[in-house]
Structure 1
Amino acid sequence: MAMIMDAVLGKLLDELLKEVVNVKDRAVKFRATLITLESTLNKVGRLAKQIDGLNNQLNKPAEEMKELKDKLAKGKKLVMECSEIQWWNCCYKANYQEELEALYESIRLYFNLDMQGLILTNELQNQVILTEIHATVMESGPRRTELKGVCSPPAPPAFTVGLDVHLREMKVKLLNNHHHAGSVLTVTGTPGSGKSTLVKKFCCDEEVKGIFKENIFFITFAQKPKLNTIVQRLFQHNACQVPEFQSDDDAVYQLENLLKQIGKNPILLVLDDVPSESVSLVDKFVFQIPKYKILVTSRITIRGFDQPYVLKSLNEVDAINLFRHSASLNQSSSDIPENIVKKIARGCSGSPLALIVTGKSLSREPPWAWNNRAKKLSKGQPILAFSADVLTCLQKSFDDLDPKVAECFRDLSLFPEAQRIPAAALVDIWAELRDEDDDSAMENIYELVKRNMADIVVTRNISSGTIDYNYHYVTQHGLLRDLAILQTNKELMKKRNRLIIDVSGNNLPDWWTTQNEYHIAAHSLSISTDDTFTSEWCNLQASEVEVLVLNLREKKRSLPMFMEKMNKLKVLIVTNYEFYRADLENFELLDNLSSLKRIRLEKVSIPFLSNTGVQLKNLHKFSFFMCNVNEAFKNSTIQVSKVFPNLEEMNIDYCDMVELPIGLSDIVSLKKLSITNCHKLSALPEGIGKLVNLESLRLTSCTKLEELPESITSLSKLNFLDISDCVSLSKLPENMGELRSLENLNCRGCTRLTDLPYSITELESLSAVVCDEETAALWEPFKTMLRDLKLKVAQVDFNLNWLS
């Protein structure tokens, strides 16, 4: 019906315009009026057709254009009658002249008044609809929409070989029974055979994406995966509020309901790198939902499902191509003989991981290094065949490390498998164990990355004028972590320099006891527990420990009593890997640790400082990440300056802080203060000007911070200031020019900053300002007065890697 009405309007317009054109030359007496009417019809005709067409698409009532159609039909009849009036009939001429003028006027008024009213009405109706849609979305949406998409499939490597046949065969296996509910396909093979690469490429295939669209969910299993955590991530990915599950069975029930709700399109769930001890979890994800598929990768064959898809070794042609690419032999001319290339590639036995690692280890190395590697292979020394051989291959890469970097590589094993390691935590360890500064610590990390012994993820890329490693995370392949642990475990446990204790449930080591002391000589101690661990801490005699890393998965945990005798402890790192914050108790033990220099807490709630009576007189650095700290500082009756009298650096990131701790401004030893992503912080105390030794102040993304106190201009040693993304900040202190030592300023994203104080001309040391296009215009006039000033218009790159 809508299309018919559209055709009627177009026909009426065309017919009226045709009659006007035909009649105007014959009916001379009406020519002037008809010419005006012709011009008007030409102007409004196309517009009227477009409006009517859009109304039809939007299912608007046909009555909205009915009045115009009636006018056009009557107008056609009137023009035809005008053509029949004889020259001598003066009475009719006058009457028809008036009617023609009335027709013209009615069409003109329709578009000037009636059509404007229709447009306004439609706009108001659309606004109402949009408001209702927005209200519905907000009502049903998640509390933390920024986590949406955390289970999106990762992109496969840019260069792959030998996977096309596998992809076709997998499609036949998984997609042919397209309507079968809950079918499972497992992909298995030796470590490093390319299982994860294959499923990533499968997820990015155009045919697969065309079938499953947005319903492709990719989960990488940790060594000890928790069902609740996986289900929580799936809820987050789909922008749904995460329920608090009462049990594993409840989590499975809630997940099934979620999948049914989003199951209008087919669903593909990928469970990647499922370890042998977690095979039973796969059954929890099997539901009888139409068009629902599960794709699993594992190093072992999982029984109970259809015949697994087994990845074989690469053929020689594909193996050499992958090796040459990994060794950068395709990018430039090479002096390496082809027979040497083939000999080393053949020694890798077609394993993609070994080919890539070996190729990268030889990339841009001199010919003698290639010849030496080929000679060792020719003597029968294996690189890989099974998983043990893969470790042998990786061992060779380890042997090539500088001794100092090799120790750093071993330190990566202090953190759990499949978890990203904050670079800041590694900096803390290496600063105290090996006297490394920030620059040299990051150099160690990038050396490992360069040698393919680790990877680095940067969650926020932006030039801020100084190194900010708080957005850097180190990741490590599971096999490489195994290699690091293998290196650590070569000595007897009591004599090891680095002791790693991994406790699952209450399956404790034989030596674990709460009565008898167990002496260790380790300087670094790592203890990892899971959420089923209920035992008491063991009674360790760990007097030599300088670094203690506690990796927890419990809602409440006390610090171990054996810490009381750790007289040499310098670094304490406590990380909770659960979804919710963990309550950390027994904090008063720290009062006995006179050597403690650095503390890093992640995703924990700390007790009221007034309840502990702790005094950490030698603590130099305290870092909080995603912690509940507001109550601890707010309700404390003890000033923080008495708890940390010699603190030099404090970092508070993604915490619930509303105001700075009482007495913080009295810690005159403080050199670095970083308060970032604290979205409840609205003001800084006037007393901040008393931090006379402060050199660096970061206030990144404190979105409620409205102004900087004037007293901040008293910070005579301040050389770096970061106020980026403080979107509520509307002005800078009037006497900003008194910060004579300020060299670097980051004000990117300060969208409410509309002018700058003239005193900025006195910032004689200012050499770099990072800003965006909006704020750059404010700084341009000052460049003539500050000759060393350089503006950097920065583009920021945010991603969700840190949530993995």
Structure 2
Amino acid sequence: MALMVAESLLGAGFEQVFTLLQETVKDVVSKARQFKGLLRNLDSTLDLLADTVKKIERSNQQRGRAVEKTQSLIEEMTKGEELVRKCLQIPWWNLVLIVKYSSKLSKLDKAILRFCQVDLQLHGTMTVFETREIVSDISQRMDSIRSVETPKVSFAVREPPDFTVGFDMPMKELKTLLLKEEVTLLVLTAPGGCGKTTLVQMLCQDEIIKGKFENNIFFVNVSKTPNVKVIVQNLLNYKNMQPDFQIQSDDDAIDQLLQLLNHITPNPILLILDDVWLGSENLLEKFKFDLPNYKILVTSRTAFPRFRFTYHLKPLNDVDAMTLFRRSVSLHDGSSYIPAEEDVKKIVKGCGGFPLVLQVIGASLRGQHEVVWRSRLMNWSNGQSFLGSDDKLLGHLESSLENDKVIIKECFMDLGSFPEDQRIPAAILIDMWAELYELDEDGIDAIAHLHELTTRNLANLVMAGKDASEANSYYNDDFVTLHDILRELAMHQSSKEPEEERPRLILNISGNNLPKRWMEKKQKLINACLLSISTGESFSWSWCNIHAPKVEVLVLNFQKLNYTLPEFVEKMDELKVFIVTNYGFFHAEISNFQLLGSLPNFRRIRLEKVSISSLCKTLVPLKSLKKISLFMCNIGKAFENCTIQLSNALPNLIEIRIDYCNDLMELPVGLCDIVLLKKLIITNCHKLSALSEGIGNLENLEVLRFRSCTDLSELPESIKSLHKLSILDISDCLSIGKLPKHIGELCNLKVLNMKGCLRLCNSLPESTVELKQLELVVCDKERAKLWEPIKEFLTKLKVEVAEKDINLNWLPK
């Protein structure tokens, strides 16, 4: 009887719409990290309803019964499928859209639940035992899975490391102190490398803390040079309270923050200010407000005596230190040489109970010969502790580099070229090291070096899940993080020689405080091969007279809306790689771009969060440029308004990468005239909907990726002319409904990635059987069925069903 009741509610198109929605949700839930909780709830709801839908459909077929359409529900499902697809279009940094779409997902989930919980019951209250069973199951699931509100993207607290030791008692003590009513600001202090951030991460996983503060735990990396305006701007975006004006000053920012906190209270709020440096006490005062249930937890290497409540995190005791060291030094198969207990104790004592030091030293000795252990023991024979001084810590950590290969040590020191607490994209390091150390172009050697640094606990390489088509060629989503102490170690190692003789020179300029020697009128000679200059928002000083004839890699990090390239760039005749990164909140306008036109060896450029239109106004021929990478840039129609044609400006370009450029709606026609191009990679550009037929002019193209371009509905037929193409990637192009009719003319195509192409449901084009060189197709289970009749014609072909990647730690938080 329950089935008959439900039949009267469900229309004939219901199962088809339901299946498409369910399939879309299951595909997107593992990719749209921003909406992970909401999509999981929706996935659970649909799973509960799936069996009922199948039973109803079977009953319809058995009885040959016509079913009334529940048009409103079908429309809701159709809109829902489109909504879920659009979730992949929302970049992790656009917090306003994340809030907006989170609300829409919640409404969709509630609408489906209401149908299950209310509508079915209203139509069968007398004899709906099965319906009540469904409703009961859903209700139980609802009790166990609470509806997730706005995801904490930029301010989410990371999960603690998989293995920790010695933190249970400190966590209990810290929690007890924090929850006292009189404690409104608590400073957690210890030297660098003692585990302050790890302890906070563990605290935020505590059920009592989560229950009290719920979604109002904000984790902010303050670092050495905090930008109050950017911090508050992001907090406002996170809570969908973006002001109509741009915040102009710190005072404006604090006023806006107070309004935000007043909006949240009386709900409890925990603001975590991580890594506050000496001299930033005034920042803590600014963030203090007399509000109910508002608490601030600060981590710092400094105790800040002016604040009443302080918790001193102590180093690990001997037992816990020994446990952590043994775990760090042991190989997985237990084959690593470890000396006698007394000798190990001497090394552990020298590490002072610092978790970071124990892990780094342990990893540096892992698998080493007995002679190496003996040498290290001689240096530490007095068992001296290095507790309490970062300088001593750095000196102690230096010993972990003693036995490293020269290339590994050089790569480690290069990591100091980037601002603290910032992720370092692996793609940047691949470009740098390909030129500095002549590593391979595809990045295989560079990633291997990063793995080795990670193994030694000198860095942390975070890699996205990869399928067979990406394993050795796609590193766009991979990045490196570096502990502050290790960053200081890298810079310390780089600064041992006199400034004029250093192979890498790293300058971190706070405000306008240039070193006096840099303000002298006489020309400043630099012999470095790598030059990194980081400036803040308030930097406005005229660049000094620098002569850097040997610089091969130039890294500029800044936080300004308008940035002028230094005049001395024009004379860097050996410059090969130029990395420009805007760490500010808004896109930056760049001037002086024409200086690059005179560089004879200039090969690679990467721009992040830059307005491309500002460059095109003064675009000059870059005849030696081989590769250009644009990340989170504003492009629009900038290339169409260039002062010269792209093919004339970039005549020898062989690779273009465009990622997260959300205003790119169509492929610039001018790009199709750069006939030497071998790689065209456009990823996560969700508004890209049109490709020019001129793409067929790129006769030398070998790699073509349109990964996660979710509005792209088709590939132009002219693609058949790309006879050198070996890799075609249209993964997660959710709107593509068919492959080009003459795709079989791609006579050298070896790899086709079409996973996540949910609209691609019809039979493959007849010409597909002509893809004789095709070796690998990556797709989901449904698309794999389309290839079954093709396999008998293509003897080399392997069809791999892509596994859903549930490890999402690599996604931006």
Question: Is residue 669 of structure 1 aligned with residue 671 of structure 2?
Answer: no
Question: Is residue 452 of structure 1 aligned with residue 457 of structure 2?
Answer: yes
For 1:760-775, list aligned pairs within 5 A.
760-775=768-783
2:377 corresponding residue in structure 1 = 374
> Given that residues 744 and 771 in structure 2 are in contact (C-alpha distance below 8 angstroms), is that contact kept between their aligned partners in structure 1?
yes
> Given that residues 591 and 614 in structure 2 are in contact (C-alpha distance below 8 angstroms), is that contact kept between their aligned partners in structure 1?
no
1:365 corresponding residue in structure 2 = 368
1:615 corresponding residue in structure 2 = 621
Cα deviation for residue 463 of structure 1 reads: 4.5
1:284 corresponding residue in structure 2 = 286
Matched AA of 1:173: L
2:321 corresponding residue in structure 1 = 319
1:189 corresponding residue in structure 2 = 190
Cα deviation for residue 800 of structure 1 reads: 7.7
Cα deviation for residue 458 of structure 1 reads: 2.9
**Mean alpha-carbon deviation: is it higher for 182-191 or for 644-653?**
182-191
Matched AA of 1:165: M
The 3 A distance-change label for structure 1 pair 607 and 559 is farther
2:260 corresponding residue in structure 1 = 258
Cα deviation for residue 242 of structure 1 reads: 6.3
Q: Deviations over 1:492-515 (max 9, x none)?
A: 112222111221111111123484
1:694 corresponding residue in structure 2 = 701
Q: Which of 754, 767, 771 pairs up with 1:759? A: 767
Q: Deviations over 1:327-358 (max 9, x none)?
A: 23797477633333323222222222222222
Q: Which of 145, 149, 152 pairs up with 2:153? A: 149
Matched AA of 2:447: M
Q: Which of 781, 789, 795 pairs up with 1:781? A: 789
> Given that residues 659 and 684 in structure 2 are in contact (C-alpha distance below 8 angstroms), is that contact kept between their aligned partners in structure 1?
yes
For 1:737-756, list aligned pairs within 5 A.
737-755=744-762, 756=764
- Distance in 2 (CA, whole Å) between partners of 1:673 and 1:123 is 42
**C-alpha root-mean-square deviation of aligned residues, in Å?**
3.1
For 1:531-570, list aligned pairs within 5 A.
531-570=537-576
- Distance in 1 (CA, whole Å) between partners of 2:243 and 2:419 is 25
Question: Is residue 386 of structure 1 aligned with residue 340 of structure 2?
Answer: no
Cα deviation for residue 450 of structure 1 reads: 1.6
> Given that residues 624 and 651 in structure 1 are in contact (C-alpha distance below 8 angstroms), is that contact kept between their aligned partners in structure 2?
yes
- Distance in 1 (CA, whole Å) between partners of 2:465 and 2:633 is 20
- Distance in 1 (CA, whole Å) between partners of 2:327 and 2:809 is 29
Question: Is residue 163 of structure 1 aligned with residue 117 of structure 2?
Answer: no
- Distance in 2 (CA, whole Å) between partners of 1:792 and 1:674 is 22
The 3 A distance-change label for structure 1 pair 387 and 460 is same
> Given that residues 149 and 236 in structure 1 are in contact (C-alpha distance below 8 angstroms), is that contact kept between their aligned partners in structure 2?
no
Classify the secondary structure of the residue corresponding to 2:165: coil
Classify the secondary structure of the residue corresponding to 1:508: coil
Matched AA of 1:555: L
1:217 corresponding residue in structure 2 = 218
Q: Deviations over 1:177-199 (max 9, x none)?
A: 1xx5x701101112212211111
> Given that residues 639 and 670 in structure 2 are in contact (C-alpha distance below 8 angstroms), is that contact kept between their aligned partners in structure 1?
no
For 1:493-642, list aligned pairs within 5 A.
493-513=499-519, 515-607=521-613, 611-642=617-648
- Distance in 2 (CA, whole Å) between partners of 1:440 and 1:201 is 35
2:306 corresponding residue in structure 1 = 304
- Distance in 1 (CA, whole Å) between partners of 2:388 and 2:292 is 41
Cα deviation for residue 309 of structure 1 reads: 0.9
2:232 corresponding residue in structure 1 = 231
2:136 corresponding residue in structure 1 = none
- Distance in 2 (CA, whole Å) between partners of 1:230 and 1:750 is 38
1:481 corresponding residue in structure 2 = 487
The 3 A distance-change label for structure 1 pair 229 and 644 is same
> Given that residues 585 and 606 in structure 1 are in contact (C-alpha distance below 8 angstroms), is that contact kept between their aligned partners in structure 2?
no
Cα deviation for residue 276 of structure 1 reads: 1.3
Cα deviation for residue 580 of structure 1 reads: 0.5
Matched AA of 2:225: K
Classify the secondary structure of the residue corresponding to 1:612: coil
Cα deviation for residue 797 of structure 1 reads: 5.0
- Distance in 2 (CA, whole Å) between partners of 1:762 and 1:522 is 54
Matched AA of 2:636: N
Cα deviation for residue 120 of structure 1 reads: 8.9
1:111 corresponding residue in structure 2 = none
Q: Deviations over 1:372-408 (max 9, x none)?
A: 4334322557666632222122101122221112111
- Distance in 2 (CA, whole Å) between partners of 1:163 and 1:148 is 25
2:417 corresponding residue in structure 1 = 414
Cα deviation for residue 222 of structure 1 reads: 2.5
Cα deviation for residue 240 of structure 1 reads: 4.7
Matched AA of 2:452: E
For 1:705-716, list aligned pairs within 5 A.
705-716=712-723
Cα deviation for residue 601 of structure 1 reads: 0.6
The 3 A distance-change label for structure 1 pair 258 and 352 is same
Q: Deviations over 1:510-551 (max 9, x none)?
A: 123484321211121111110001111222111221111111
Matched AA of 1:406: K
- Distance in 2 (CA, whole Å) between partners of 1:608 and 1:202 is 46
Cα deviation for residue 235 of structure 1 reads: 3.0
**Mean alpha-carbon deviation: is it higher for 759-768 or for 153-162?**
153-162
Classify the secondary structure of the residue corresponding to 2:476: helix
> Given that residues 219 and 272 in structure 2 are in contact (C-alpha distance below 8 angstroms), is that contact kept between their aligned partners in structure 1?
yes
The 3 A distance-change label for structure 1 pair 504 and 715 is same
Q: Deviations over 1:656-704 (max 9, x none)?
A: 2223333322222111111112222222111211211111011111222
The 3 A distance-change label for structure 1 pair 120 and 773 is closer
- Distance in 1 (CA, whole Å) between partners of 2:519 and 2:342 is 59
> Given that residues 512 and 540 in structure 2 are in contact (C-alpha distance below 8 angstroms), is that contact kept between their aligned partners in structure 1?
yes
Matched AA of 1:167: M
**Mean alpha-carbon deviation: is it higher for 450-459 or for 534-543?**
450-459
> Given that residues 166 and 316 in structure 2 are in contact (C-alpha distance below 8 angstroms), is that contact kept between their aligned partners in structure 1?
yes
- Distance in 1 (CA, whole Å) between partners of 2:756 and 2:672 is 27
> Given that residues 608 and 635 in structure 1 are in contact (C-alpha distance below 8 angstroms), is that contact kept between their aligned partners in structure 2?
no
- Distance in 1 (CA, whole Å) between partners of 2:652 and 2:688 is 25
> Given that residues 687 and 709 in structure 2 are in contact (C-alpha distance below 8 angstroms), is that contact kept between their aligned partners in structure 1?
yes
1:248 corresponding residue in structure 2 = 250
- Distance in 2 (CA, whole Å) between partners of 1:728 and 1:120 is 26
Structure 2 portions without partners, runs of 5+ = 6-66, 85-89, 102-150
- Distance in 2 (CA, whole Å) between partners of 1:121 and 1:699 is 36
The 3 A distance-change label for structure 1 pair 239 and 401 is farther
Structure 1 portions without partners, runs of 5+ = 1-42, 48-115
The 3 A distance-change label for structure 1 pair 372 and 562 is closer
Matched AA of 1:246: Q
Greater RCO (Cα-Cα under 8 Å, separation 6 or more): 2
- Distance in 2 (CA, whole Å) between partners of 1:364 and 1:495 is 35
Cα deviation for residue 261 of structure 1 reads: 2.3
> Given that residues 571 and 598 in structure 1 are in contact (C-alpha distance below 8 angstroms), is that contact kept between their aligned partners in structure 2?
yes
The 3 A distance-change label for structure 1 pair 367 and 514 is closer
> Given that residues 340 and 370 in structure 1 are in contact (C-alpha distance below 8 angstroms), is that contact kept between their aligned partners in structure 2?
no
- Distance in 2 (CA, whole Å) between partners of 1:769 and 1:329 is 37
Provide the TM-score with structure 1 as the length reference: 0.79
For 1:420-459, list aligned pairs within 5 A.
420-437=423-440, 438-459=443-464
1:351 corresponding residue in structure 2 = 354
2:177 corresponding residue in structure 1 = 173
The 3 A distance-change label for structure 1 pair 801 and 150 is farther
- Distance in 1 (CA, whole Å) between partners of 2:616 and 2:184 is 57
Question: Is residue 339 of structure 1 aligned with residue 339 of structure 2?
Answer: no
Q: How many residues get paired?
A: 682
